[in-house]
Amino acid sequence: MVDRGLYYMLQLHFTPEWFNGWDLVLDTIGLVIALLIAAFSWRIYNMHKENRYAYFALAFVCIAVGFGFKLLTNGIYYFEPIRDVAAGVLKPVAGPRLAFADLFYRAGFFLEMAPWLGGLLLLFFISQKPRERLHKYYELTQIGLFVYLILLISVVSNFTFFVFYLTSTVLLSLIVLNYYKNYLNNGNSNTLRVMWAFMLMLCAHVLFVFVFLWSGLYFFGEVLLLAGFLVLLLTYTRVVAFRGVKRVA
CA distance 101 to 82: 14
The answer to whether residue 51 is domain-embedded is yes
Range in 29-38, 42-51, 61-70 the model is least confident about: 42-51
The percent of residues in the chain predicted with pLDDT above 70, rounded, is 75
Query: What pTM, to 2 d.p., does this model score?
Result: 0.85
Mean pLDDT of 74-79: 74
Let me know if residue 247 belongs to a domain: no
For residue 106, tell me if it sits in a domain. Answer: yes
Is the predicted pLDDT of residue 8 greater than 50, yes or no?
no
Q: What is the mean pLDDT of residues 83-107?
A: 60
pLDDT confidence of residue 247? 56
pLDDT of residue 21: 80
The CATH number for 136's domain is 1.20.1070
DSSP state, residue 97: T
Nearest to 193 by CA among 182, 204, 206: 182
Neighbours of 73 (CB within 10 A): 25
Distance of CA 143 to the CA centre of its chain: 19
Residue 248, domain member (yes or no): no
Domain that holds residue 184: 5-241
Report whether pLDDT(159) > 80.
Answer: no
Q: Is residue 214 part of a domain?
A: yes
What integer pLDDT is reported at residue 245 of this predicted model?
Answer: 45
Q: How many domains does the chain have?
A: 1
Percent of the chain with pLDDT over 90: 40
**Does residue 99 belong to any structural domain of this protein?**
yes
Confidence of residue 249 (pLDDT cuts 50, 70, 90): low
Q: Which residue has the higher pLDDT, 49 or 205?
A: 205
Assigned domain for 83 exists: yes
Give residue 3's pLDDT.
47
Strand, coil or helix: 212: coil
CA 237 to mean position of chain CA atoms = 20
